[in-house]
Each structure stands twice: as C-alpha cells, then as structure tokens.
Amino acid sequence: VSWLKFSGSPHPMEELNKSMEIIRSVLCQNVKSESILLGAGCFWHVEFALRRLPGVIDTKVGYAGGSFPSPTYDDVCNKKTNHAEVVKVTFDPTVLDPRRLLDCFFAMHDPTMVKAHGEYAQFSGQYRSCVFVFSNHMEEIAKCALEECRRQLGKMLSTEISVLRMDEFWEAEARHQRHDERVMKKAAGDVETLMDVDWLRTYGKRASSIWGTSETIMVMCDDSNDDGMARMMI
C-alpha cells in the first residue's frame, strides 16, 4: 500500500491536484494512523528512505529531545540545544506494523556507537540514534525492538527511547522537508514504495546478517562479510 502518489510534489510551487487532495482527505479521515519520531543521522536521508516503506502516510523532518522550544537549524547545528534531527513518521499500523517499522529503523543505521562524541554522542548529538514516541504502548514496542536488536548484535546500543508530547516535536524549516527528493528533482510519482526485502537491500547497512525478529527470523546463507550488526525484516 503506497501513499506516495497522494503526497504531492516536494517542490513548494507545485500543489497536489484537486482530485488527489479529495482522495487523500477521505483516506486520512478513515484510516487509523500512528506517529513516531526516528533519528538515525541526517534527517534528509532518513526521511527519503522511510517514505518508501509501505504504509507510511506522511513524513516531516524536525527536532526533538532538546532543552528549549522552537529551535532553528542553526541552533541545533551550534550544539547548544541537545536536539536530535528526527523524522516524524505517520503510518497506518494495519499496513506497516510498528515493530516492523522499528526493525527497519535499526537496520538502516549503526545503533552501537555508545562511546561516540560530537554529532553522534548519546543523548546530546544532533545525529544520535533515538526513538521518541507519544504513548506508553509505543514505548513498550520500541523497547522490545531495541532489546531484540541488542540480543542479535551482542553489543550495547546507544539508542535513546523516550515518551514525548506532540508539542515537543519542532518541525524543521521548509527547505529541509523532502530535501533529497527536491535535490534529485523527483516528482511525487518518481519515488516508488519498496517491498520489505527490496527496502532492506537498498537501505540496510549490512550485506549479510540476520534478518528478522525472534518471531519471524530468517538467516541469510552467506554471512562471510557480516560484522555482527543485525539486519532485520519481518
């Protein structure tokens, strides 16, 4: 299930046509959705990847986990606010199970940088690994996914998990929204939704490893080049 055709153009001057707007409005009113904030490095690239998962309804890039309200990009880059660059992912949990989304999130970056400094520093870095949720239910799912990843890797993980209020996410400036699509001059129809396996082959950070959770594990045949980081799928 792809929502990309209803997302409009990443270019500010190009609007979604009226018929698509109506269809999107009706769907949004009738589809159950959840939201989560995910940080795994530069939000430009994380957003582009996550938008291609089936069941993702919308994304916004922004800032969360910091020490004061309404930060700008310059504030965050000056490293005085402790905000992380994050992507707010709004998704249909009947299509994209939250656990599956989190497994993909852990597969697309290295969550093991416990002793990192600077931009990747735990709890303070702009590019740190983090999951911010808006409910205790989602927090439990995130903690279970984190523990499964830690067990598969056999390493301590740096990923921060916290419950936030909706108003503790600060949307980034317009020039950062869907940045990679604009830079690559992609129209809305040019970015395709990928099935799970294809998504992991495109954005997973390890070529051959463990794909899966304890419930749906799949071990790849050739693990000669694996450095121990789990690559997950459902």
Strand 130-133 and strand 170-171: the pairing is unpaired
Q: Is 104 a catalytic residue?
A: no
Measured CA to CA in angstroms, residue 128 lies from 64, 111, 149, 208 at distances of 11, 8, 17, 24
For residues 51 and 34, what is the distance between their CA atoms, to the nearest angstrom? 15
- Catalytic residue (choose from 42, 130, 149, 221): 42
Write the Ramachandran bin of 15: left for phi over 0, alpha for psi from -120 to 50, otherwise beta: beta
Measured CA to CA in angstroms, residue 209 lies from 25, 102, 124, 200, 234 at distances of 41, 17, 30, 11, 14
Looking at the annotation, which residues are catalytic?
Answer: 42
